[in-house]
Structure 1
Amino acid sequence: MDGNWFKDHVVFLTGATGNLGGCLLYKLAIQLPTAKIFVLIRGSVQQAIESWEQSMPEHVDKIIATGKVQFLLGDMTQPNLGLTPSNLLRLQNEVTLVINSAGDISLSRGLAETLPINCTAHLTLVALADTFTRLTHFLHVSTTFVSSFLPDGTVKEKIYTLVEDPKEELATILATGQSSYTKEFAAPYALAKYLAERLLLEGDHSFPVLIVRPCFISPAIEEPYPFYGSDGAIPVHSFIQVLFEDSEYGLFKLEQVVPRHVACNEIPVDLVARTCLAHVAKGTKGVVHASSDLYVNRTVDELFNRIRLYAPKGIVEAIKKAGIDHGDVPAPELYSMINQFARDWRIECTRSTDLKSVKGPLGLLLCDHDPDAFFKQRIERLAKSILDKLGTLNLSNNKFYQT
């Protein structure tokens, strides 16, 4: 896969201060010959830079030094994305590729609150994109959980029809703040993303629309650096911490309820970024999955066994004793959601099979990577992060916690 495709392309990137968005920015600025990157930021330029200094401190200066990044102040939830007329004109006259990685995966937001962020903002963006005179590609990042209403089995790279008229359903939610479909989805944000997908693909656009659906995103293998990704942006880390701290709804109680053979779908954030950019370069249209099929497939049983093996001795007791709050959803609600929506899914990634034999910034070939060693380091790093918050660094001579 030739990264030279990006030469002379002008990109409009949203969500650049997020986990995936930051990885995409790094690749576009450092690894690929992108001509220019317009970055939509909320607040101020300084706030965006401070965010990157937290997430990738050794790479911020390199990214800025490329001279590719152009900051645009705005807000995805505002009319015209909150852009000034002059900045909007720049986008209309220059942008050839839109990458929309903005979104909010918070499980605590109700439908009325998540809809502006995870649906109508995307529709505002694509409406503006229709006025971009040089635009040739539009990439929208969604989630595999748009299909969480499906039963066990294979989830294909396509739109599944649940809502017959997405426009009518969106109007109903905007008017009432409610939907009869909410209980069909793992969380309100998944319903909002589902409606966005339907409306984006059913729109009449002069450019092709590509939708990439990641499953749970895990820490990076390589880009921008190994283990890149804040714990709050890594769902499995959040789940582990919330369940560790609750005496009644614990991780190891959950494993007694969730079917052991169910897949735990996770993929490193940099593999998601590579999948996104490779399919843009290939000119892919429609839906593409980025799931564990492109990395390593593990069952829930295998996940729990590894956590039990690698979690340092005493960490569960330390968390419970401190009573710190790690997540935005109480453990009972999280427990109920996982229990209800644990599916025996195989999330198909057929459209990316060829990338698994490709090296480089747009390939998924991992020559010397050891997934088990990587996972061990990941759990140990997560444990250290938790213990740092507790002010306790005693790992009991590196002995492991056993239940």
Structure 2
Amino acid sequence: MEKAKVFFTNFRTKAFGDGLPTKLKKMIKKAGIGDIDMDGRFAAIKLHFGELGNISYLRPNYSKAVADVVKELGGKPFLTDCNTLYPGSRKNALEHLECAWENGFTPLTVGCPILIGDGLKGTDDVEVPVVGGEYIKKAKIGRAVMDADVFISLTHFKGHELTGFGGAIKNIGMGCGSRAGKADQHSDSKASVNEELCRACKTCLKECANDALHFNEEIEKAYIDQNKCVGCGRCLGACNFDAISFGFNAAVKSLNCRMAEYTKAVLDGRPHFHISLIVDVSPNCDCHGENDVPILPNIGMFASFDPLALDQACVDACLKAKPLPGSQLAENMAKGDFVNHHDHFSNSTPESEWQTCLEHSEKIGLGTREYELIEV
């Protein structure tokens, strides 16, 4: 496979010159986004709206810049993300939209509609075959994501407590999975009921197609027959009180490989384009309700038709950067018992691991890790 082209521009701007959103527009046009036939087509722009309390997510100005370019090309853009597996401010479409609005994402500020990809309760998904999948045969992807004619990812490249970093592949694979799809990637266990949170509403009972959900009339609580539960996750969206959950217990290698396979399911068979911004590189995911100080300096904006090459280029750029003083990374490196992994992400969070994700992505044909970096 020949090298992929990855385009790059830094965050420098001149006084009284173009601002960063305009610079982003120029960069993605140079990278070839205009080669995609957008005329009259629905274009999903996948991003992370940020958890309430977190302020390191990408500002709405960047998503507006991408949406504006799509509209210039005749496309019909919409911003999208899918609901979260964990209880938080984005676990259903109503709370998710309110979170997005509070964090500055509205049709007025971004110039296009906002749709939650897997519907009101995170149950509106489509089973998509994974060609060459070793861990996942059918991925559960948000229906609105799969209904789009064109797919564009806009990623905040940052650290992550499990996968080392959150790049394009994580934004797409984990982000586009429905609630059941996220459980599919995160968990090797089956669903369980927290009796303290169960309200005895019995809504969940009708969602199980495997006769695994039952109701104990004596204590007035739902329970799950583990012998019959197949771990499909359909019951997650049925409970409005977060009484049903899955454990986040998948090994990191398994999680990385499943994420790569979910990404392949999202992208196969339609035009796609990818953008990553290395800015405010927090040590943890934007799913956190807080953000620590950046571990690395702001580096720049990257774009490519190949999400794997894009992630490889971004991680390479990060590994060449110097850790920022006062960050989690710098503090770890200053400890007396510090073991140098020669990897900023592993040094920041030693229990994390990212290499298997990129290795497996290349193995299943998601893209190539070989790239040519073209500075704009």
Q: Same fold (TM over 0.5)?
A: no
Q: Relative to total residues, which structure has the larger helix share, 1 or 2?
A: 1
TM-score class normalised by the smaller sequence? 0.3 to 0.5
Which structure is richer in relative contact order (CA contacts within 8 A, separation 6 or more)?
2
* TM-score between the two structures when normalised by the length of structure 2: 0.38
User: Structure 1 length normalisation: TM-score?
Assistant: 0.36
